[in-house]
């Protein structure tokens, strides 16, 4: 039986009211028109073979519970009582961890509890470095000490606009590296003046974030982003330094490079609570998680931009990888160096292994990238402690370093929206004009991103749903309009929500204007907990709907009950600025 057939009689009556107020002829029509695209399907709890990452990690039975609000600890435990051990994951985002006593029935039981909006198994993720080629295309480059030369660090010195001057703009907030850890004994990272601060292993729950990875992935990633300019080895895009540009190493992956949603989420929280403005995650896998998306929204609200690798499936399944595909995450693909090879048929173009889909925002050097590794690593070593790697894993920290420089140049005062927009706006387009799924907005351009004026902020963010709102939008006196200028993006930021307080019988007129894109307008009644458009929620709470068109959208509503109502702008297609005009009694 379909969901619509299961609606209670009262809900059906509400849907009939919606049909009348929206001016749509049939129930099917209003449901199709008002409904937003569904979130990607979440995975169940069936573990699968090695290599399929839209599944739980072997042996892990951790259920991520997302509430529609943000309850305190005693209340969260009360709502989930009797289902297993409950622990905070990111309580600030309403995300909790449940170790279910009865895994087979846990998801259904949790979804039946009060104010639960999601229950998902913690999915497995893997590092996004590319396995080494079967045979080297030629002899290794002859490098000298220091390794900061065009031959070894081509991404900084051969083609890009990066220069040492970009690193001198002032102190920078911490940049966090969520990976297999960073080797604190390495010459780049060790010593009393090393840049590493607030280390954490979320695997063990201690402060030892040493790199235990078999390939030294975390140390390599950290070096690309922030290797100090200390006279040895290499230099990172945003060189880390003691006291003024710290690096937070967070160990989220096991020795084989596998992590889970749970370890990533815990890592994000640790980074944010320790002041990180930029968080790099060079890993991913298939499968959407509402808990992870809400964690990212919380991190964004706290001022942190997450940068992630889009994956290396460009020659294979080319699927969306998370976290790169989540909203508000800056997804990075891999750029080739100047040598022609199977992976790189066009010098300095997009590597053919680089995943191409809507998750790609920019590309950055991801082939033959030299960086630090623990001395025990021998694969593709150029000199002890330094090795070459390929993959979008290497491209992401390059962009994370640029994001850190952008923040530093602007007093660490920019919002994540401003930093992301600055990097995409200043990228050098190398594909079809405008953004495309292969190269995104183009090759990241450090010089332009750091030196040009940053864009204006999008006020009120994060305001993606009811649970994120910090207050009520003040309406003017009767007949006096209040105008809000903001922006939405069908990929990165599709929903903006505003709360307004109305007295019973009070009339509200809402006008939405925009220059491009298709933006829909919704008005939700008191008692609404989410602007998601499931049938039951539509029937119970949606009171006005105006589908986007070339003309301004206008919705007029007279409140049937006193209380807080919600105005929702949704980007069904495209992106850009809009103006929302609210008039009480207009």
* Catalytically annotated residues: 179, 217, 393
* Residue 360 CB partners (closer than 8 Å, separation 6+): 310, 331, 332, 333, 354, 437, 438, 439, 440
Instruction: Tell me the C-alpha distance between 155 and 253, whole Å.
Output: 26
Burial label, 429 (beta-carbon count in 10 A; 0-12, 13-18, 19+) = middle
Q: Provide the token pair at 334.
A: 């891999």
- CA distances 563 to 350, 472, 473, 560, Å, are 53, 11, 13, 10
**Start-to-end C-alpha separation, the chain:** 44
DSSP string, 440-486: BT-B--HHHHHHSPPPPP-TT-S-SSGGG--S-PPP-STT--EEEEE
* Residue 268 CB partners (closer than 8 Å, separation 6+): 90, 178, 279, 295, 296, 299, 304, 306
DSSP string, 244-282: TB-EEEEE-S-TTSEEEHHHHHHHHHHHHHTT-SEEEE-
For 81, which DSSP code? T
Q: Provide the token pair at 138.
A: 């030629």
Q: HEC string of 282-322?
A: CEEECCCCHHHHHHHHHHHHCCCEEEEECCCCCCCCCCCCE
> Contact at 8 Å (CB) between 179 and 220?
no
> Contact at 8 Å (CB) between 331 and 355?
no
> Contact at 8 Å (CB) between 266 and 252?
yes
Instruction: Tell me the C-alpha distance between 372 and 374, whole Å.
Output: 7
For 164, which DSSP code? G
Look at residues 224, 194, 211 and name the one whose alpha carbon lies nearest to residue 251. 211
- Location of structure tokens 């209040």: 482
Look at residues 143, 458, 176, 132 and name the one whose alpha carbon lies nearest to residue 306. 176
């Amino acid at each position: 039986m379909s969901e619509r057939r299961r609606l209670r009689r009262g809900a059906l009556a509400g849907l009939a009211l919606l049909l009348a107020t929206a001016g749509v002829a049939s129930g099917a029509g209003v449901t199709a028109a008002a409904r937003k695209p569904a979130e990607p399907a979440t995975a169940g709890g069936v573990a699968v073979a090695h290599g399929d990452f839209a599944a739980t990690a072997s042996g892990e039975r951790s259920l991520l519970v997302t509430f529609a609000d943000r309850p305190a600890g005693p209340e969260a435990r009360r709502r989930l009582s009797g289902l297993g051990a409950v622990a905070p994951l990111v309580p600030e985002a309403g995300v909790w961890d449940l170790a279910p006593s009865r895994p087979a029935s846990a998801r259904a039981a949790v979804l039946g509890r009060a104010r639960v909006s999601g229950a998902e198994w913690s999915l497995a993720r893997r590092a996004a470095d590319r396995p080494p080629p079967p045979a080297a295309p030629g002899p290794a480059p002859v490098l000298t000490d220091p390794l900061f030369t065009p031959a070894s660090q081509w991404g900084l010195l051969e083609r890009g606009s990066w220069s040492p001057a970009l690193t001198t703009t002032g102190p920078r907030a911490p940049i966090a590296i969520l990976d297999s850890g960073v080797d604190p004994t390495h010459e780049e990272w060790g010593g009393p003046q090393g840049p590493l601060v607030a280390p954490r292993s979320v695997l063990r729950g201690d402060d030892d974030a040493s790199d235990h990875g078999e390939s030294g992935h975390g140390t390599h990633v950290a070096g690309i982003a922030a290797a100090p300019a200390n006279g040895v080895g290499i230099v990172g895009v945003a060189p880390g330094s003691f006291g003024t540009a710290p690096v937070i190493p967070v160990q989220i992956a096991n020795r084989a490079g596998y992590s889970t949603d749970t370890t990533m989420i815990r890592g994000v929280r640790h980074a944010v609570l320790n002041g990180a403005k930029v968080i790099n995650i060079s890993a991913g896998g298939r499968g959407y998680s509402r808990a992870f998306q809400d964690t990212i929204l919380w991190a964004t609200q706290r001022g942190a931009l997450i940068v992630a690798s889009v994956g290396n499936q460009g020659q294979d399944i080319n699927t969306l990888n998370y976290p790169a595909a989540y909203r508000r995450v800056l997804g990075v693909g891999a750029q080739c160096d100047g040598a022609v090879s199977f992976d790189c048929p066009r010098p300095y173009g997009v590597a053919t292994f680089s995943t191409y889909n809507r998750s790609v925002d920019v590309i950055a050097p991801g082939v033959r990238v030299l960086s630090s590794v623990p001395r025990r690593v021998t694969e593709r070593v150029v000199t002890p402690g330094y090795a070459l790697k390929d993959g979008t894993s290497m491209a992401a920290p390059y962009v994370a370093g640029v994001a850190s420089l952008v923040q530093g140049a602007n007093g660490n005062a920019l919002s994540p929206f401003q930093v992301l927009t600055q990097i995409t706006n200043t990228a050098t387009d190398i594909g079809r004009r405008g953004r495309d799924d292969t190269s995104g907005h183009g090759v990241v351009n450090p010089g332009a991103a750091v030196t040009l004026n940053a864009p204006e902020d999008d006020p009120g963010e994060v305001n993606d749903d009811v649970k994120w709102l910090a207050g009520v939008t003040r309406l003017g006196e009767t007949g006096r309009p209040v105008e809000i200028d903001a922006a939405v993006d069908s990929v990165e930021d599709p929903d903006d929500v505003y709360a307004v307080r109305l007295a019973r019988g009070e009339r509200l007129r809402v006008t939405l204007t925009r220059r491009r894109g298709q933006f829909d307008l919704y008005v939700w009644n008191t008692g609404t907990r989410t602007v998601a458009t499931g049938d039951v929620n539509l029937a119970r709470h949606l009171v006005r709907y105006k589908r986007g068109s070339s003309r301004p959208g206008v919705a007029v509503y007279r409140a049937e009950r006193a209380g807080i109502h919600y105005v929702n702008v949704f980007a069904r297609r495209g992106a850009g600025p809009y103006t929302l005009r609210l008039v009480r009694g207009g």
